[in-house]
Amino acid sequence: MTAAQANPEALTFECETGNYHTFCPISCVAWLYQKIEDSFFLVIGTKTCGYFLQNAMGVMIFAEPRYAMAELEEGDISAQLNDYEELKRLCLQIKRDRNPSVIVWIGTCTTEIIKMDLEGLAPKLEGEIGIPIVVARANGLDYAFTQGEDTVLAAMATRCPDKAPVVESEKNERNAIQKLLHFGKKKEEVAEEESEYVDHPPLVLFGSLPDPVVTQLTLELKKQGIKVSGWLPSKRFTELPVIEEGYYVVGVNPFLSRTATTLMRRRKCKLIGAPFPIGPDGTRAWIEKICSVFGITPKGLDEREAQIWESLEDYLKLIRGKSVFFMGDNLLEVSLARFLVRCGMIVQEVGIPYMDKRYQAAELALLEKTCLEMGVPLPKIVEKPDNYNQVQRIYELKTDLVITGMAHANPLEARGINTKWSVEFTFAQIHGFTNARDILELVTRPLRRNNSLKDLGWDKLVKEQAQV
Amino acid sequence: MKLAYWMYAGPAHIGTLRVASSFKNVHAIMHAPLGDDYFNVMRSMLERERNFTPVTASIVDRNVLARGSQEKVVDNITRKDQEERPDLIVLTPTCTSSILQEDLQNFVERAQLEAKSDVLLADVNHYRVNELQAADRTLHQIVQYYIEKARKKGELPQAKTEKPSVNIIGISTLGFHNQHDCTELKRLMADLGIEVNAVIPEGASVHELKNLPRAWFNLVPYRELGVLAAQYLEKEFGIPYVDITPMGVVETARCIRKIQQVINAQGADVDYEEFINEQTLYVSQAAWFSRSIDCQNLTGKKAVVFGDSTHAAAMTKILAREMGIHVVWAGTYCKYDADWFRSQVSEYCDEVLITEDHGMIGDAIARVEPSAIFGTQMERHVGKRLDIPCGVIAAPIHIQNFPIGYKPFMGYEGTNQIADLVYNSFTLGMEDHLLEIFGGHDTKEVITKGISADSDLSWNKEAQAELNKIPGFVRGKVKRNTEKFARDRNINVITVEVMYAAKESVGA
């Protein structure tokens, strides 16, 4: 299979067997419990789920995390125990020990199979114990890795207040981002600042990002006179943004299609379909699209983007003309591929767990455009990839860099193939102009490392190279 | 339902996968949803494995839920059969497949018709057994399968090996220091003039299993893995097994004496007493260590021990019997094997704790305030929080517990390693003493950037002289503590009085 070159006209989409490695979507609790400071995540599943969390979260597990397993036992499976009573007992214990503002129940494969009616039990129990209970079915039957966040945010979207409270100015001030931006300023100054914004309908951003990145992107939009009215999720559950009918929403991550759908269908919001703010090209396109929807002419983006690219030159030199292969496991693949094409790399394959062509439409279009402009073949997009087949293709293509999960990274390295562990892209700060360097820091790390080792002569470290 | 953050033993399928992927050319196929193949990450990361982990998943998704796996499992088995040509494919059920109650045995039988490799269904119930029990069962199952297969074909070798020989049973991937222990045990056997007939499962081919009965005896170094297989071989072929873990000087000697007895009963004429004596006195440093002044300082110090049965029992005996350390309590998370554990350690510790609840263990450590902990990674973190040093002696473990240097826990070299671990875990006696007098560790609040702590504060002559009397390795700390004390009270010149006032204030 000498892929990629087949059809330069349009992107090709394929679907394989779905035998690929990825993290279970319950892993989203790891970053969401940190993001939403007053939450508690209860994963209702088995030892298998617990074992995964314990090992995947590594050190975090010892930091008294605000998440726990409700470990199902044989009596729960065979319904000898009453689900409602059991959950009530555990949730009361959580309330007593941690007193969170929200308990998020993460449904797992097991709760799906035994058809535990979490959505039905939650409102009843919520009434009884007085803490909101949000139900997200982030299970491995339906979803991959980052899609877990999507299920949680989609559930949260329905909890956002639908009316701005009466004393609006005060409420605004309590908003974490606003507070940060207005830090140390008097009320009048704040009012004055409001005039720096263009008059546009309220805009709410969705997607969980580390707080510094939230600030960076918010400020980036502020430069264009665009005000971010709220962010789903916010730092605290009690500060979820107001979402009224007719508000505009825009996503910051490519894996949030359910959340987008929920915001459109259930909250009657208007979705701005834009490429995602990953890489300077993506960030610029993202801002431009938002501006265009609000009829704003973007200012100073040319220089801003050019400046960032210039600062990346030392990294770009290392990767220009090199080939990259995404095995696919976290749904950031299309955006990253698009950015790396712009950096001068040749993308051989974009593996991806799930491809929502509607939600990612603008991103796909930008990928296509970027490939044409850079004069490189359009990559093949492989949905539900088959890792075994992919490894055979990697051998054939002699790829310069494989972006893959940890299950394959060491074996590939031992065979002389550079790899970058894909999960790092999910945890690193990669959004906005400011963080473009961080993406390339990750992408070039294996190349830099192997450059410094290259004269040693031990690049293939397995005995039998024979491949069946 | 049980509220849990942390578990000591993993789910059953992990045990099956550990055994299957330890064998050479055996492939495991998990009947599991997406994301349950986390085992591959662990093996690839922790063991730094160069080869692809021979485990794939036959994915359970919505379609499977609605219509059953149908052809999927069979297809995946036959496909893997063609791609990798393994000797054996082990279909591994998970918690998910346990409740789907599909007839996996039927899939195995159907796949067997087409596949060139042998196909087995791992006989483990997710809700009844844990990782360790499942590993033990799976090893037994595979051994039994190949013994019976050979018997049917009339390929079972009849005779024993000419010289005394042993099967080492229970070495597996992701086991705590298993690789190093294995090397050490092989070396020990060579020293004893015993041939190693087979090591299973690590690195073994299933074709070798039919040769197991040729060994004179089986050695089962770990309590958790291999006992079932050894019992089976004893029942079928009358092969005796030695299940004394050769960990620590006394237990290693006991293990060797037992081996001597077992092979002499079969006509060998060996006397290992001289060997044991030589090794104990001159090869292992542990016996000498326990007589040395250093170890004297450990006398009566309090320690607690927690881990799997094998390591927790062995460590308890070493600490109490060989080093004179006071083991306040010893515990294990192997609840299913509690009686054995009690029988092993009762006389060497004040109290025995059997629990899978890490919270309870944490509380028990806080209550006792030992000088050192010997436990798993969880206890290490409890130790960090309570400021008590911890030596890790058992799984669950992190990547730092897969050292690339040679660090066995078993045999005579193992005794040296354990002596180092114990000694380094207790704060060194002398240092400990001096730190106590002069104000303890000050790692929490660094007040100056440099280690030497040059500062604007001046020390008068007497104080400087006094400071210089303090041994070099704690001088910096004493200096910083004193200066911090002085700054807090706006004292500009440090005198001897200030110095000792600082010491007192820390003591208070």
Joined tokens for residue B438? 């002069």
Within 10 Å of residue A397's Cβ, how many Cβ atoms? 17
* Interface with chain B: mutation pick from A109, A125, A463, highest number of B CBs within 10 Å: A109
Q: A271 phi and psi, to 5 degrees?
A: -90, 125
Residue A215 to residue A234: CA distance in whole angstroms: 12
* pLDDT > 70: percent of chain B: 93
- B144: contact with A, CB 8 A cutoff: no
**A178-186: average pLDDT:** 55
With contact defined as beta carbons under 8 Å apart, do A334 and A257 qualify? no
Contact A74 B127 (CB under 8 A): yes
Q: Is A388 in Cβ contact with B4 (below 8 Å)?
A: no
In this structure, are residues A20 and A82 in contact, taking their beta carbons and an 8 Å threshold?
A: no
pLDDT at B98: 86
* CA distance linking residue B268 with residue B252, whole number of Å: 20
CA distance A447 to chain B (A): 19
Nearest to A410 among B4, B44, B84 (CB): B44
Cβ–Cβ contact B41 with A under 8 A: yes
| pLDDT, tens digit, 9 for 90 and up, residues B345-370 | 999 999 999 999 988 999 999 999 89
B94 vs B62, B129, B135, B364, CA distance in Å? Answer: 16, 12, 14, 34
Our CA dihedral for A189, A192, A194, A197, rounded to 10 degrees, sits at -130
Question: Can you tell me the distance from the alpha carbon of A298 to that of A303, in angstroms, rounded to the nearest whole number?
Answer: 12
* Helix (H) / strand (E) containing A106: strand A102-107
Q: How far apart are CA A431 and CA A208, in angstroms?
A: 11
pLDDT at B444: 46
* Rounded Cα gap, residues A305 and A282, in angstroms: 10
d(CA A328, CA A59): 26
Q: How far apart are CA A111 and CA B99, in angstroms?
A: 11
How far apart, in whole angstroms, are the C-alpha atoms of residue A356 and residue A123?
31
Quickly state the pLDDT bin for A4 (edges 50, 70, 90). very low
| Beta bridge partner(s), residue A110 | none
pLDDT at B16 over 70: yes
Residue A41, beta-bridge partner list: A67, A104
Tell me the HSE value of B287 on the side-chain side, using a 13 A CA sphere. 15
pLDDT band of residue B440 (cuts 50, 70, 90) is low
**B62 with A23: Cβ contact below 8 A:** no
- What residues of A form the annotated binding site for [4Fe-4S] cluster? 24, 49, 109
Q: Is B395 helix (H, G, I), strand (E, B) or coil?
A: coil
Q: In chain B, whose CA is at the least distance from the CA of A112? A: B65
A54, A109, A242, B330 from B6: Cα distances, Å: 6, 20, 37, 20
**Distances A427 to A23, A330, A404, B259 between C-alpha atoms, Å:** 13, 11, 15, 53
CA distance B441 to B302: 20
CA R_g for chain A: 23
Task: Write out the two tokens for A284.
Answer: 């610029």
- Helix (H) or strand (E) holding A387, with range, is helix A387-397
Instruction: Please list every residue in chain A whose beta carbon sits closer than 8 Å to the beta carbon of residue B48.
Output: 410
Q: How far is CA A63 from the centre of its chain?
A: 23
How wide is the angle at C-alpha B239 spanned by C-alphas B237 and B244, nearest 5°?
Answer: 150
Residue A171's pLDDT band, with cuts at 50, 70 and 90, is very low
- Residues B162-176, mean pLDDT to the nearest whole number: 96
Per-residue confidence band for B455, with pLDDT thresholds at 50, 70 and 90: low
pLDDT given at position B86: 97
The structure's pTM equals: 0.88
Torsion-angle region of residue A341: left (phi > 0), alpha (psi -120 to 50) or beta? Answer: alpha
Tokens, residue B15: 């045990």
* Interchain CB contact of B404 with A (< 8 Å): no
Cβ separation A46–B83 shorter than 8 A: no
Residue of B nearest to A52 (CA): B38
User: Three-class SS of residue B281?
Assistant: helix
Which residues from A are below 8 Å from B396, CB to CB? Answer: 54
Compute the nearest-CA separation of A22 from chain B (Å): 5
Mean pLDDT, residues B171-192: 97
Any A CB within 8 A of B83 CB: yes
Q: Which of A48, A73, A88, A116 is the mutation pick for testing B, counting most B CBs within 10 A?
A: A48
Percent over 90 (pLDDT), chain A? 77
Higher pLDDT, B507 or A90: A90
pLDDT band at A166 (very low <50, low <70, confident <90, very high): low
Instruction: Give the burial class of A465: count Cβ atoms within 10 A of its Cβ; 0-12 exposed, 13-18 middle, 19 or more buried.
Output: exposed
The pLDDT of residue A5: 47
* Most B CBs within 10 Å, among A83, A89, A410, A464, to test the B interface: A410
Active site amino acids of B: 294
Q: Are strands A102-107 and A39-45 parallel, antiparallel or unpaired?
A: parallel
Determine, for residues A87 and B48 on separate chains, whether the beta-carbon distance falls below 8 Å: no
- C-alpha pair distances (Å), A179 with each of A205, A234, A235, A241: 17, 13, 12, 14
Model pLDDT for residues B35-51, shown as the tens digit of each residue: 898 999 999 988 999 99
User: Residues B255, B218: contact at Cβ < 8 Å?
Assistant: no
pLDDT digit string, tens, across residues B422-431:
988 886 545 6
Can you give the pLDDT at residue B200?
Answer: 96
User: Quick one: how far is CA A423 from the chain centroid?
Assistant: 11
Task: With a cut of 80, say whether residue A6 has pLDDT above it.
Answer: no
Q: What is the per-residue pLDDT across B52-90, written as a single tens digit (0 to 9) for each? A: 999 999 999 988 888 888 789 999 999 999 999 999 999
The one-letter amino acid code at A49 reads C
* Residue-wise pLDDT tens digits, A421-455: 999 999 899 999 989 999 999 999 998 888 888 77
Contacts of A151 in chain B (CB under 8 A): none
Cβ separation B1–A89 shorter than 8 A: yes
Distance from CA of B64 to the nearest CA of A (A): 9
Would an 8 Å CB–CB cutoff place B13 in contact with chain A? yes
Asked whether the predicted pLDDT for residue B507 surpasses 70, the reply is no
Say if the Cβ atoms of B4 and A69 lie within 8 Å: yes
Q: Find the mean pLDDT for residues A401-419.
A: 94
Q: Region B396-407: what's the mean pLDDT?
A: 91
**Buried b / exposed e along A17-43 (16+ C-beta atoms within 10 A):** bbbbbbbbbbbbbbbbbbbbbebbbbb
Q: Is B41:B103 a contact under the CB 8 Å cutoff?
A: no
* Interchain contact B132–A (C-beta under 8 A): no
Question: Which residues in chain A have Cβ-Cβ distances shorter than 8 Å to B398?
Answer: 58
Residues 6+ apart with CB under 8 A from A428: A435, A438, A439, A442
**At which residue do the structure tokens 């070495």 appear?**
B171
Binned at pLDDT 50, 70 and 90, residue A291 comes out as very high
Cite the annotated binding site of A by residue number: 24, 49, 109
Question: Are the beta carbons of B38 and A145 separated by less than 8 Å?
Answer: no
- Cis peptide bond upstream of A379, omega within 30: no
Mean pLDDT of A17-28: 92
- When CB atoms are compared, the residue of B3, B36, B48 closest to A93 is B3
Tell me, yes or no, if B360 comes closer than 8 A to chain A by beta carbon.
no
Mean pLDDT of A310-337: 95
Q: Do A410 and B45 touch (CB under 8 A)?
A: yes
- Please determine, for residue A301, whether its predicted confidence score (pLDDT) is greater than 80: yes
Cβ-defined contact of B10 to A47 (cutoff 8 Å): yes
Q: What are the Cα distances from residue B392, in Å, to A290, B127, B377?
A: 54, 29, 6
Predicted local confidence at residue A187, as pLDDT: 58
Strand partners, B354: B332
Cα A94 to Cα A68, A71, A89, B184, distances in angstroms: 9, 14, 9, 48
